[in-house]
Amino acid sequence: MADHSSSGTSSTGDQGPGEPSSRKPSGLRGFLRTLLGRNGESQLRDSFEELLEQHDDRATPIDSDERALIDNILNVGEETAYDVMIPRADIVSVPADTSLDELVAIMSRQPHSRYPVHRDSLDDVLGMVHIKDVLAATTEPKENFSVRAVMRKVLFVAPSMRVLDLLLQMRMNRLHMALVVDEYGGIDGLVTIEDLVEEIV
pLDDT tens, 102-111? 999 999 999 9
Where is pLDDT greater, at 59 or 159?
A: 159
pLDDT tens, 69-115? 666 666 666 789 999 999 999 999 999 999 999 999 999 999 999 99
pLDDT tens, 30-66? 555 555 554 444 455 555 556 556 555 555 566 676 6
Q: Kindly report the pTM of this predicted structure.
A: 0.69
pLDDT > 90? residue 117: yes
Q: How far is residue 8's CA from residue 179's CA, in Å, rounded to a whole number?
A: 10
Angle at 89 between CA 88 and CA 92, to 5 degrees: 80
- The residue among 130, 126, 189 whose CA lies nearest residue 157 is 189
Q: Which residues of 153-181 are buried (b: 16+ CB within 10 A; e: fewer)?
A: bbbbbbbebebbbbbbbbbebbbbbbbbb
Q: Which fold has domain 9-14+81-200?
A: CBS-domain (3.10.580)
SS3 for the chain, per residue? Answer: CCCCCCCCEECCCCCCCCCCCCCCCCHHHHHHHHHHCCCCHHHHHHHHHHHHHHCCCCCCCCCHHHHHHHHHHHHHCCCEHHHHCEEHHHCCCEECCCCHHHHHHHHHHCCCCEEEEECCCCCCEEEEEEHHHHHHHCCCCHHHCCHHHHCECCEEECCCCEHHHHHHHHHHCCCCEEEEECCCCCEEEEEEHHHHHHHHC
Q: Which residues of 94-132 are buried (b: 16+ CB within 10 A; e: fewer)?
A: bbbebebeebbebbeeeeeebbbbbeeeebbbbbbbbee
Q: Where along the chain do the CATH 3.10.580.10 domains lie?
A: 9-14+81-200
Name the β-bridge partners of 181.
187
